[in-house]
Amino acid sequence: MQDITAPELAAWLADPSRVQPQLLDVREPWEIETCSIRGAVAMPMQSVPARLAELDDDKPVVCICHHGVRSAQVGHYLERCGFASVINLAGGIHAWAEEVDPDMPTY
């Protein structure tokens, strides 16, 4: 599994010439209500095994959580399930708020 920084992910999302990743937000619903990246699929960590069919294993998946720990765990799980391109947002949504979207609420 690779890591990606918040600015790198922002550049990727802004580049229409690149295949766009699936953004998988594995935080809890109350966390997602506080802040989220537009287009992210909300799938709390515990629900991922039951909801794997909702993800396209042919597209890159960027896993997102608060600081990058839970998303790394989910990323490793996805790799064990056969997903070929799994990326962890280093620093999580907190890094996104600090480095990409300073207007985003933090917690």
Q: Does 63 reside within a domain?
A: yes
Looking at the domain assignment, is residue 24 inside a domain?
yes
Note down the domain range covering 34.
Answer: 2-99
Q: What is the pTM of this model?
A: 0.96
Q: Is position 106 within any domain?
A: no
CATH number of the domain bearing residue 63? 3.40.250.10
> Can you give the pLDDT at residue 1?
96
In a domain, residue 105? The reply is no
pLDDT at 59: 96
Catalytic status, residue 63? no
pLDDT at position 76 is 98
Q: How many domains does the chain contain in total?
A: 1
pLDDT in the model for residue 91 = 98
* Model confidence pLDDT, tens digit, residues 51-75: 999 999 999 999 999 999 999 999 9
Classify residue 104: in a domain, yes or no.
no
Q: Which residues of the chain have pLDDT under 50?
A: none
Task: Kindly report each contact of residues 96-103 with a partner whose C-beta sits within 8 Å and lies 24 or more positions away, as own/partner.
Answer: 96/6, 96/9, 96/10, 96/37, 96/64, 97/35, 98/6, 99/5, 99/6, 99/7, 100/6, 100/7, 100/9, 100/10
Let me know if residue 45 belongs to a domain: yes
Instruction: Say what the pLDDT of residue 35 is.
Output: 97
Residue 61 resides in a domain: yes
The one catalytic residue among 35, 63, 65, 81: 65
Please indicate, yes or no, if residue 57 is contained in any of the structural domains. Answer: yes
